Amino acid sequence: MEQGGFGSDSGTPPGPIDKSKVLDVKPLRCLVPVFPTPNGMTSTNPQPSPFVCVPPSGPFPPGVSPFYPFLSPNDSGRSAENQEGFGFGTPISPVPLNSFRTPTANGDAGPRRPGRPRSAANGLATDDDDSQHSDHFGSGYSNDVEDTSTGKKRGRPRKSRLSQSDNAAAHPLEVDMDPLLNQLLASFKLAEVDQVKKADGDKELAGRILLVYDLFRRRMTQIEERRGETPGAARRPDLKGANLLMTRGARTNQTKRIGNVPGVEVGDIFFFRMELCLVGLHAPSMAGIDYMSVRLTGDEEPIAVSIVSSGGYDDEGDDGEVLIYTGQGGVQRRDGQMFDQKLERGNLALEKSVHRRNEVRVIRGVVDVQNGGRGKVYIYDGLYRVQESWAEKSKLGNCSIFRYKLLRVPGQPEAFTLWKSLQQWRDGTATRVGVILPDLTSGAESQPVCLVNDVDDEKGPAYFTYIPSLKYSKPFMKSNPSMGCQCLGGCQPGGSCSCVQKNGGYLPFNSIGVLMSYKTLVHECGSACSCPPNCRNRTTQAGPKVRVEVFKTKNRGWGLRSWDPIRGGGFVCEYAGEVIDESRVGEFGNDGDDDYIFDATRMYEPLEATRDYNDESKKAPYPLVISAKKGGNVARFMNHSCSPNVYWQLVVREINNETYYHVAFFAIRHIPPMQELTFDYGMVPPDKADRRRKKCLCGSLNCRGYFY
């Protein structure tokens, strides 16, 4: 099938394609020409960034920006070094192009964005708040900006008629209220997203935008939940967060393009349409077809650049290499009445793409089963070509609809087909190669953990006992007898739950076990609480919710990965093992076998930007060292990476008036299935640097070169 990919193109007589024509391509309303990759295909790696070798502490050559996701906003040393290249130091002249939204940094001075309805709802998110927020960025973060007195030249009158209504006053944007949100914004250093990067991004920027968006959205959701009773039930943190970032220019790849988008890889996953928007993978916030205008010979015509297939119409995409896509329109949104689709907009663009044979990005939306069927997961399935199109009568309503047959460009990494394979493995309808053990936990976890090796003939890791939780020889401390909560039906946000109070007034997890904001310490419910075991404030007590497997990596021994997609903030697992004295770490190190040690006393990349400072307890309460050599759970197989996708969070539980600390792992960002799970092992303090270094093989751009 793979090799035959080209042959199967035979539906349309190919004929010689004049590629020079395809080169004369420009996006709608944009003065910067955009060129597709030459020859248009085989570009799994479209914009290889030059390899640059930099020490982690700098100095950095221009254009290289180190990315510390949780960098403290007041880490002035580093940012000062870094100012050379861009950001504040090199202001980009504000070219009033329509295609770039000029961030209204100084209130109404800048030209207004085109095409935006200036309704009351929009005013809420953008207008009045704008001046305040840009002040935060311009002068650095300060929590007590009460901007009412400063040069707010514009005042009220700008908002004419209906604006100024209830909304804006009744619900000021949460950023103003919440220090953590403010902190997130400040740490993001939005000034660094200049016009160039906004137009064309890279991996670093796309990752940063998605990260901040998700942190933002999670925190806003948490605030919404606490507010309770969800007025109108239609508070949309997903939209609000995106709006906030967009109006500040925190977006990328805004110029439309044919083919892959820098910073997004085939197989990447998303959980909101706005995420596709923010990184330029698919611009429309709702519509399924994105297109742009290109010039062929004198005339301009629209061609499709990306589509989202997520079940709204009667698409057929089961094959994984072929997609039958239905055109847009033909249904009245209000009453669901149907009529004929018209050959306009996206439909016309797809039709033109049949003849143009350009690559079209395909995003497949599937229902998010882990979220109880609410919401979707969007998988970037790479590039397709529209092979043919036709019109037919819809089953419902007997109206004419357009259909488009798309074929996946060969040679791309597996994406949607992988999801299908995974489903078959779950069902048992397909056998897996390289399975050594179907469940290495022997039933100790609620889900089996597969042991696989499809790279060599090693039969498994060294012997160990599988234990699902952490073993203490003695409690960390006796705590004062404290009352547990009385939440018989499980703890809920907004109520008077005493455990919520311990967490600074917020419930740390949402209903599907996603950590809503990082904290110094998360207080979970304990033995004195009345809530049931499935209480969301016991998220880390029930073992992994995602189906993980232990697998042999190519060059780093055994590793851990997940069959299920994991959301940013999603719970992965706890670190199980035996709590040991810090002084005993050396014993393990001496025989060169400290591979299975978790050491919370090491130094870690700062989490400051994401940590909730409302929290009372600000410093790590206790040194915690865990050995999983003799016994442990899946966490012992997690490898180190200098740009990890998993972060650990200290969790405390009280059992019979004794306090126990635990280490729980959460996804930093969305993790597609089968991507190795890694965390940062941290750095050994200088006075203990006698421990053996190991060469780091994580291969990330900002790799430190070694770890302990």
Partner DNA sequence: GATGGATCAACTGT
Partner DNA sequence: CACAGTTGATCCAT
Which position among 22, 125, 199, 696 is part of the footprint of DNA (CB under 7 A)? 125
Read off the tokens for 601. Answer: 């006393």
Residue 632's contacts (CB-CB under 8 Å, 6 or more residues apart) are 464, 466, 467, 575, 576, 577, 596
The stretch near DNA (CB under 7 A) out of 46-54, 321-329, 570-578, 665-673 is: 321-329
Question: Please, which residue, 32 or 703, has the CB nearer to DNA?
Answer: 32
The stretch near DNA (CB under 7 A) out of 108-116, 448-456, 545-553, 592-600 is: 108-116
Question: Please, which residue, 96 or 686, has the CB nearer to DNA?
Answer: 96
Q: Does 596 participate in binding DNA (rule CB under 7 A)?
A: no
Question: Please, which residue, 114 or 155, has the CB nearer to DNA?
Answer: 114
The one-character DSSP state at 132 is H
**Alpha-carbon span 278 to 245, nearest angstrom:** 8
Question: Please, which residue, 389 or 659, has the CB nearer to DNA?
Answer: 389
Least separation in angstroms between residue 1's CB and DNA is 24
- Helical pair 179-188 and 127-138, crossing angle rounded to 10 deg: 60
Other beta carbons within 10 angstroms of residue 567's beta carbon come to 27
Question: Please, which residue, 276 or 663, has the CB nearer to DNA?
Answer: 276
Q: Does 246 participate in binding DNA (rule CB under 7 A)?
A: yes
Q: Does 528 participate in binding DNA (rule CB under 7 A)?
A: no
Question: Please, which residue, 329 or 461, has the CB nearer to DNA?
Answer: 329
The stretch near DNA (CB under 7 A) out of 234-242, 259-267, 514-522, 653-661 is: 234-242
Which position among 129, 192, 315, 381 is part of the footprint of DNA (CB under 7 A)? 315
Least separation in angstroms between residue 134's CB and DNA is 17
∠ CA(108), CA(113), CA(117), 5° rounding? 105
Closest to 580 (Cα-Cα) out of 603, 558, 596: 596
Tell me which H or E stretch contains 442. none
Pairing of strands 694-695, 706-707: antiparallel
Main-chain dihedrals φ then ψ at residue 699, nearest 5 degrees: 75, 10
How far separated are the first and last CA of the chain, in Å rounded? 45
Question: Please, which residue, 343 or 683, has the CB nearer to DNA?
Answer: 343
Long-range own/partner contacts, residues 149-157 (CB < 8 A, 24 or more apart)? 152/107, 153/107, 153/108, 154/107, 154/108
Which position among 133, 208, 248, 273 is part of the footprint of DNA (CB under 7 A)? 273
Q: Does 127 participate in binding DNA (rule CB under 7 A)?
A: no
Question: Please, which residue, 6 or 339, has the CB nearer to DNA?
Answer: 339
Question: Please, which residue, 118 or 227, has the CB nearer to DNA?
Answer: 118
Read off the tokens for 399. Answer: 């109206």
Question: Please, which residue, 275 or 524, has the CB nearer to DNA?
Answer: 275
Q: Does 333 participate in binding DNA (rule CB under 7 A)?
A: yes
Least separation in angstroms between residue 335's CB and DNA is 9
Which position among 67, 68, 313, 472 is part of the footprint of DNA (CB under 7 A)? 313
Least separation in angstroms between residue 69's CB and DNA is 23
Closest to 78 (Cα-Cα) out of 182, 187, 183: 187
Which position among 309, 610, 627, 645 is part of the footprint of DNA (CB under 7 A)? 309
Closest to 254 (Cα-Cα) out of 304, 188, 194, 315: 194
Q: Does 220 participate in binding DNA (rule CB under 7 A)?
A: no
Which position among 239, 296, 367, 399 is part of the footprint of DNA (CB under 7 A)? 239
DSSP string computed for 72-113: -TT-HHHHHHHTTTSGGGSPPP----TTSPPP-TTGGGSPPP
Main-chain dihedrals φ then ψ at residue 627, nearest 5 degrees: -110, 130
Least separation in angstroms between residue 135's CB and DNA is 21
Q: Does 626 participate in binding DNA (rule CB under 7 A)?
A: no
DSSP, collapsed to helix, strand or coil, labels residue 11 as: helix
Alpha-carbon dihedral sign for residues 410, 412, 416, 419: positive
Q: Does 29 participate in binding DNA (rule CB under 7 A)?
A: yes
Main-chain dihedrals φ then ψ at residue 183, nearest 5 degrees: -65, -45
The stretch near DNA (CB under 7 A) out of 15-23, 279-287, 429-437, 610-618 is: 279-287
CA 655: distance to chain centroid?
Answer: 35
Beta strands in 540-675 (DSSP E): 548-552, 558-562, 571-574, 577-580, 597-599, 625-627, 631-632, 639-640, 646-655, 658-667
**Alpha-carbon span 271 to 287, nearest angstrom:** 16
Residue type, 213: Y
Q: Does 98 participate in binding DNA (rule CB under 7 A)?
A: yes
Least separation in angstroms between residue 202's CB and DNA is 19
Q: Does 305 participate in binding DNA (rule CB under 7 A)?
A: no
Least separation in angstroms between residue 390's CB and DNA is 15
Question: Please, which residue, 399 or 436, has the CB nearer to DNA?
Answer: 399
The stretch near DNA (CB under 7 A) out of 281-289, 450-458, 577-585, 682-690 is: 281-289
Least separation in angstroms between residue 153's CB and DNA is 17
Beta strands in 435-585 (DSSP E): 435-437, 450-452, 465-466, 470-471, 477-478, 522-523, 548-552, 558-562, 571-574, 577-580
637 to 22, 235, 310, 628: CA distances (angstroms)? 49, 40, 35, 10
Q: Does 21 participate in binding DNA (rule CB under 7 A)?
A: no
Q: Does 121 participate in binding DNA (rule CB under 7 A)?
A: yes
**Alpha-carbon span 358 to 384, nearest angstrom:** 8
Question: Please, which residue, 34 or 703, has the CB nearer to DNA?
Answer: 34
Print the binding letters for residues 167-206 with DNA: x by CB under 7 A, - otherwise: x---------------------------------------
Which position among 44, 85, 118, 578 is part of the footprint of DNA (CB under 7 A)? 118
CA 34: distance to chain centroid?
Answer: 27
Least separation in angstroms between residue 678's CB and DNA is 28
Q: Does 236 participate in binding DNA (rule CB under 7 A)?
A: yes
Which position among 8, 142, 285, 534 is part of the footprint of DNA (CB under 7 A)? 285
Q: Does 308 participate in binding DNA (rule CB under 7 A)?
A: yes
Residue 612 burial (10 A CB sphere; 0-12, 13-18, 19+): buried
Q: Does 72 participate in binding DNA (rule CB under 7 A)?
A: no
Q: Does 238 participate in binding DNA (rule CB under 7 A)?
A: yes
Q: Does 218 participate in binding DNA (rule CB under 7 A)?
A: no
Read off the tokens for 58. Answer: 């700098």
The stretch near DNA (CB under 7 A) out of 63-71, 119-127, 424-432, 453-461 is: 119-127
546 to 91, 144, 497, 615, 650: CA distances (angstroms)? 46, 42, 28, 29, 20
Q: Does 338 participate in binding DNA (rule CB under 7 A)?
A: no
Question: Please, which residue, 117 or 443, has the CB nearer to DNA?
Answer: 117
Q: If you compute the radius of gyration of the chain from its CA atoms, what whole number of angstroms results?
A: 27
Least separation in angstroms between residue 91's CB and DNA is 21
Q: Does 284 participate in binding DNA (rule CB under 7 A)?
A: yes
Question: Please, which residue, 364 or 653, has the CB nearer to DNA?
Answer: 364
Which position among 151, 312, 532, 685 is part of the footprint of DNA (CB under 7 A)? 312
Residue 4's contacts (CB-CB under 8 Å, 6 or more residues apart) are none
* Binders in 348-387 for DNA, by CB under 7 A: 365, 374-376
Could you list the residues that contact DNA (CB under 7 A)?
28-29, 96, 98, 111-112, 114-118, 121-122, 124-125, 167, 230, 232-240, 242-243, 246-247, 254, 256, 272-274, 277, 283-289, 292, 302, 308-313, 315, 325-326, 328-329, 331, 333, 345-346, 365, 374-376
